[in-house]
Chains A and B, each alone.
Chain A
Amino acid sequence: MARLSVNIGSLQLKNPVLTASGTFGYGEEFADFVDLSRLGGFVVKGTTLHSREGNDYPRMAETPSGMLNAVGLQNKGVGYFIDNIYPRIKDCGSEIIVNVSGASPADYVAVAERLAPLQGIRAIELNISCPNVKQGGMAFGTTCAGAASVVSAVRRAWEKTLIVKLSPNVTDIVEIARAAEDEGADSVSLINTLMGMAVDVERRRPMLSTITGGLSGPAVRPVAVRMVWQVAKAVKIPVIGLGGITCGRDALEFLMAGATAVQIGTANFLDPAATMRVIDEIEDYCTRHKISDIREIIGII
């Protein structure tokens, strides 16, 4: 069997398959369908310093080969995560990566500082790309200066692996990736959702309470593959690719375009065991093509 292990910063993942924040809960929700210990790792829901109620219902609209969401970072805050959720999941046998959000660099730093003592959390993913909150979120991810301000502040407070999640809602994602790399990020993940909108023409109103939302699913995949390819060519740190992956073949597209690891998001809603299937299909591909180490095909394009 091929060697599937890859490195992201100081993390050594047993395989390149992770889950995407906001689509896999805290892992536990999938316990009946997924052997969590088989995953390379999983990224938990966006976590903020204080609890957030998120946006009003309706927060979701189905679109061709995808969906719009406007959840708005509903979560119970980092303290609740540490006291109540972390103890339940810390021994699941897989890397747990916390997705961190905030309205100011100080917020991001405060969350990172609270997470730093946890042995079982060896990486955080900074969400500077959420299109569904008014303050912060994507505001930091759409300019180099904004990205640099958050990444440099968190870098000083967080010694472990630091992943920065990029927004596709920019003119040039490469320059934002470079800014994150320059400030000391260990890896960049992309893409977060693409800003979108849908209208209910019978009722003559937007489908989402927030009017606009974030598009995910297979509909965004070609955009995501292109961005991963561009960024992987431009930075030296490992790139994590995501956007519309539903099967092994989709994941391999990202790996060949330059991603060292991938995340599975919306596909978890269609098939709760999607992550297991993706791992199996990558293994099958390697066997069929006599690949002994997955790194042989990473970035071959």
Chain B
Amino acid sequence: MKICTDFRLTESRHLSPVYGLLTLQSEKPLPEIHAGQFAQVRADGSKTTFLRRPISICSADPETRTIRLLIRRAGDGTAALLDTPVGHLINIMLPLGRPFDIPATDSATDRPLLIGGGVGVAPLLFLGREMRQAGLNPEFLIGARSASDLLLLDEFKALGDVNITTDDGSLGHRGVVTAHPRLQRPVSHIFCCGPAPMMKAVAAAAAKLGASCQVSLENMMACGIGACLCCVEKTVRGNVCVCTEGPVFNINQLTWLD
């Protein structure tokens, strides 16, 4: 069941000059939402923004009817969302797309590895929480340009071990996530969300390690519900809609490694 309704912005947290975290309360009861699903958000505050903007759901609490969205200031639409005054209404359609597939079990020596970069960490926080609820022990590997771009670290640390890389070496290992020593050791399940070049590098690393790998794509969208066929990705089954068949894909469905 999907809903499309007004949410009241109850909190807007400034995380850095480019990132912010919005907490929104729904007028209607929240449907069941899982990690990896996204929302189509109307940016009424921007006159130049015509279509809704797809944003991953970072957390959802049915009891308080609240969700959180982690947003990067990319252009006019996301800027308008980040600049919305607390108390204002934002129209949101959710939940859209298919969630991550969570493995049934793990072990002390083989924990699921969640790899994220930039704003791509949003669905991984939700995923980490769902894994903990399912009795698993997720481990994180988070990459950023610099220490100040690492978002919501405290919340990640509360869920599991966190490995860090930064481009400038200001925290954790210097370099990209795929150069981190954690990716030299065996792992069975990798979950990744971040910029496309990062996801492709992680997918290649996963293939080398023999690990399964789910990635969350960010193709441009119009409708978000499978009606316009604008958001397609090439897969082994031909062009499929990222908004309905994804945004989460197992890389064995994609043609990236061909």
Which A residues are closer than 8 A to B by beta carbons?
22-25, 29-30, 32-33, 45, 53-54, 57-60, 62-67, 69, 71, 74, 217, 266, 268-273
Contacts and interface: CB of A to CB of B under 8 A. Distances in A.
B211 to A, nearest CB: 27
Interface in B102-145: none
B228 A23 contact: yes
A50 to B, nearest CB: 13
B222 A272 contact: no
B227 A32 contact: no
Nearest to A271: B4
Nearest to B77: A62
Interface in B223-243: 223-234, 238-239
Contact of B230 (A30, A60, A217): A60
Interface residues of B, number: 29
Interface in B43-62: 48-52
A71 B42 contact: no
Given A53-B238, A57-B233, A272-B93, A64 B228 contact: no
22 contacts: A22-B229, A23-B227, A25-B225, A25-B226, A25-B227, A32-B1, A32-B3, A54-B232, A57-B239, A59-B229, A64-B50, A67-B51, A67-B222, A69-B228, A71-B230, A74-B239, A217-B50, A268-B223, A269-B224, A270-B50, A270-B51, A270-B52
> What are the nearest 7 A-B pairs in CB distance?
A60-B230, A25-B227, A269-B223, A32-B2, A29-B227, A269-B222, A71-B229
A53 B236 CA distance: 12
Contacts, number: 83
B84 interface: no
B52 A29 contact: no
B66 to A, nearest CB: 21
A30 B52 CA distance: 16
B219 interface: yes
Contacts of A54: 229, 232, 239
Nearest to A72: B229
Contact of A59 (B1, B4, B93, B230): B230
B220 interface: yes
Given A62-B51, A74-B232, A269 B1 contact: no
Given A32-B1, A269-B52, A272-B4, 6 more contacts: A23-B228, A25-B225, A59-B229, A60-B230, A71-B228, A272-B225
A268 B50 CA distance: 12
**Most chain A beta carbons < 10 A, residue from B4, B227, B234:** B227
Contacts of A57: 219, 231-234, 239
